[in-house]
Structure 1
Amino acid sequence: MVESEAGLRLSDQFTKVNTCDLAEASPAIEQLQGHFFARPRAGIVSSVEPVYVRAASCGHVAVSTFKFGRTVDIEPQGLAGALLVTTAIAGRAGVALRGGTHGIDTGATFVSHEEDAPTFLYGVDTEVLKLRFDRRRFEEFAFKVHDQAPAGPLRFDYLMSRPDAGARWTSLLRFVVATLNTSAACTPSSMELASMEELLMLTLLSIQPSNYHADPVSRISKVSPRQFRQAVEYINDHLESDLRLTDIADAAACSIRSLTRAFHQASDTTPMQYVHGLRLQRVKADLALSTLQQKTIADIAYHWGFRHLGEFNRKYREAFGETPSQTRQRKALS
């Protein structure tokens, strides 16, 4: 594991707490994460460094980075309908559950539920990124994915143990944190944040084992040609807006899983890849319009939903074999 996952740390603009006094920090922490008990680790004399807490939101998901600056055990007093996903950014974290105590290396992720009565174990140099999901909202989304409810409260395996799953999750977290960190210069819209919330839930459902058992592929409801047309029409009608998978599936009156399979069969792509491809085509078309020559490439990209120019330029070049600037220059000379 790496010694530090700096790309998972919220920037200073989100600082809520910066003090060496844990008692002073506690009200702000409880406002973010609920009531808790903090206990010094038995038999360990710990140095004391500042408590750092940074917090932002991604739709209905509370995103926080914590560093307690001492060896301490944090025992939440009821997670109040929340589901916590914790990723170690620096140092070595841990979690004590009814079934035992588990150490977590930097970069590793674990999932916590209220019925587990978790206690989080931190050292002086431990820093973590926490995502706090509304569990009921997550369950409602899971139903929309497959048109099937979990057997009881949605429950994931406590540790993200597969390397491929951990790598995929960490990559997504880097994207979310980078988006939030650049929000001072380019504030994400509420729909954009909702889309990221949806992506976080969909990814966790697909990579982390849970008590949610989806039907086999053979039993996925087939999307009719009419439903597929409705999905495509909805995408085209809302291409300038922030689009979510949930909205597209609702427009086609089908589950997200059925919708995804229909797009794969029709065009060997996913619904959101289809959306991004159409938006790139619209950008390319706008770059060729003489009436839009006064608009910057960034303005045109932003209009079509691309908030991060580096990522936009990479995708544009992959799609068309040239940069946006080269497209504009070529059209100007033709």
Structure 2
Amino acid sequence: MRVIDPQDPPDTAPVFPVELPGGTVYRSDDLDVYRAGVNSVFYPARLDLVRPHTHLTHARLSAVRLSHLTLGIVHFGAEVLIDPGDVGGYHINIPLSGAVDSRCGAQQIIATPGHAAVFTPNEHTILPSWSADATQICIKIDRGTLETELTHILGRPLDRRVKFDIGLDLTTSPGRRWWSTLQILVDTINDPGPIPRRVLAAQVDLLERALITGLLLNHSHSLTEALHADDTPENPRALQKVVELIESTPGAQHTITDLARVSGVGARQLQKLFRDRYDMSPSVYVRSVRLERVRSDLLTATDDTATVSDIAYRWGFNHLGRFARFYQQKFGEPPSHTLRR
């Protein structure tokens, strides 16, 4: 089944190009009921009618939660305001019709067919006007997955969040390639064909991550320059020795002197090598690797007796308060929430 091309002329009637199997569908013109449905799928948000004496018309939401993304197609049939505040992760809205005033921190765009809006965590997100004729594909992206994908692309841990430009132009060649990946993902969900469920799950997972990687590579953000920088270190062997030690034993309590001894260069030179190559100090690199190992263990824990503190201690964190703060900053959720998934 075909999703509408984002450059097609907007239709006058609401169009719902996909029904997502195994997903959630809300149909209600009762504002309270529909608000609760939208918030349960995406984020707790203020959602109100902009104009008095108006009401929702043919309001409908079709959504499905995947491994790394939540996909939804949303229509209100009345002009509404949506204010979720900090959404805590990454999010894309793609209008199929109408216009949506979209703001994230100091950035603003009027999203229209062909021009999507990308939202970043730790910024105030608000949509002051979602027009009555607007239908949008809304994509909630798991923050941990996106930042892990970028870590793999860069070849180093992240020491700060990714901040995207709000406007995503789908009429350019990169934009159309990204849209095509989304089309393939939706088509695969809609009409998987006679393939085993485990094969379908692997295929969908691959397409989800391809969509996230495509966004990172083709849309401007705060680490775009780092993706294209010449990152060959002046002393690659010294750096490689230290990175191999950290990756193999991240829970060990190494001092900068210990790491310098392994590298064969002085502590100051080692600090410079890390900053030139990874834009962070050796200690921040160690912490980032530890946090990734903790998250992996939290996500894969099957023992009911597993605790956040035991896993954190295992990977070298000795102060649980600071650990929890660093974890929240990196992954956008408390470690206890990750363990309960």
TM range (shorter): 0.5 to 0.7
Q: 1:117 aligns with which of 124, 131, 134?
A: 124
Question: In the alignment, which residue of structure 2 is the partner of 1:103?
Answer: 110
Q: How does 1:260-279 map to 2 (within 5 A)?
A: none
Question: In the alignment, which residue of structure 2 is the partner of 1:182?
Answer: 191
Query: d(CA) in 1 for partners of 2:208 and 2:9?
Result: 28
Q: 1:2 to 1:122 in 2, by over 3 A?
A: same
- The CA deviation string for residues 109-142 of structure 1, in whole angstroms up to 9 with x for no partner, is 1111233312123111111111111112211111
Question: In the alignment, which residue of structure 2 is the partner of 1:316?
Answer: none
- Report if aligned partners of 1:84, 1:130 keep a CA contact under 8 Å in 2: yes
Segments of structure 2 that go 5 or more residues without pairing to the other structure are 1-6, 234-341
Q: 1:158 to 1:143 in 2, by over 3 A?
A: same
- The CA deviation string for residues 165-223 of structure 1, in whole angstroms up to 9 with x for no partner, is 322222222111111111487656221121011101110111001112335575469xx
Q: 1:36 aligns with which of 45, 54, 58?
A: 45
Query: d(CA) in 2 for partners of 1:102 and 1:216?
Result: 26
Question: In the alignment, which residue of structure 1 is the partner of 2:69?
Answer: 61
Q: 1:119 to 1:85 in 2, by over 3 A?
A: same
Question: In the alignment, which residue of structure 2 is the partner of 1:18?
Answer: 27
**Structure 1 residue 24, shift from structure 2 partner:** 0.9
Q: 2:78 aligns with which of 70, 81, 84?
A: 70
Segments of structure 1 that go 5 or more residues without pairing to the other structure are 222-334
Query: Residue type matched to 1:166 in 2?
Result: G
Question: In the alignment, which residue of structure 1 is the partner of 2:9?
Answer: 3
Is it true that 1:85 corresponds to 2:96 in the alignment? no
**Structure 1 residue 74, shift from structure 2 partner:** 0.6
Is it true that 1:139 corresponds to 2:147 in the alignment? yes
- The CA deviation string for residues 289-310 of structure 1, in whole angstroms up to 9 with x for no partner, is xxxxxxxxxxxxxxxxxxxxxx
**Structure 1 residue 69, shift from structure 2 partner:** 1.5
Query: Residue type matched to 1:3 in 2?
Result: P
- Report if aligned partners of 2:107, 2:166 keep a CA contact under 8 Å in 1: no
Question: In the alignment, which residue of structure 2 is the partner of 1:191?
Answer: 202
**Structure 1 residue 19, shift from structure 2 partner:** 0.9
Question: In the alignment, which residue of structure 1 is the partner of 2:317?
Answer: none
Q: 1:127 aligns with which of 129, 135, 142?
A: 135
Q: State the superposition RMSD in angstroms.
A: 2.8
**Larger helix proportion, structure 1 or 2?**
1
Query: d(CA) in 1 for partners of 2:85 and 2:194?
Result: 37
Question: In the alignment, which residue of structure 2 is the partner of 1:303?
Answer: none
Query: d(CA) in 2 for partners of 1:12 and 1:176?
Result: 11
Q: 1:216 to 1:29 in 2, by over 3 A?
A: closer
- The CA deviation string for residues 209-265 of structure 1, in whole angstroms up to 9 with x for no partner, is 1112335575469xxxxxxxxxxxxxxxxxxxxxxxxxxxxxxxxxxxxxxxxxxxx
- The CA deviation string for residues 34-75 of structure 1, in whole angstroms up to 9 with x for no partner, is 21101222x576453122101113322111111111100111
Q: 1:100 to 1:196 in 2, by over 3 A?
A: closer
**Structure 1 residue 96, shift from structure 2 partner:** 2.9
- Report if aligned partners of 1:46, 1:124 keep a CA contact under 8 Å in 2: no
Q: 1:22 to 1:151 in 2, by over 3 A?
A: same
- Report if aligned partners of 2:120, 2:162 keep a CA contact under 8 Å in 1: no
Query: d(CA) in 2 for partners of 1:209 and 1:23?
Result: 37
Question: In the alignment, which residue of structure 2 is the partner of 1:209?
Answer: 220
Q: 1:53 to 1:8 in 2, by over 3 A?
A: closer
Question: In the alignment, which residue of structure 2 is the partner of 1:313?
Answer: none
Q: 1:7 to 1:154 in 2, by over 3 A?
A: farther
- Report if aligned partners of 1:50, 1:68 keep a CA contact under 8 Å in 2: yes
Query: d(CA) in 1 for partners of 2:85 and 2:57?
Result: 25
Question: In the alignment, which residue of structure 2 is the partner of 1:153?
Answer: 161
Query: Residue type matched to 1:211 in 2?
Result: S
Q: 1:168 aligns with which of 164, 177, 183?
A: 177
Q: 1:125 to 1:190 in 2, by over 3 A?
A: same
Residue aligned with 1:190, SS: helix
Paired residues, number: 219
Query: Residue type matched to 2:8 in 1?
Result: V
Q: 1:48 aligns with which of 50, 56, 80?
A: 56
Query: d(CA) in 2 for partners of 1:85 and 1:220?
Result: 34
* Identity over aligned pairs, percent: 15
**Structure 1 residue 78, shift from structure 2 partner:** 3.2
Q: TM-score, normalised by structure 1?
A: 0.58
Residue aligned with 1:69, SS: coil
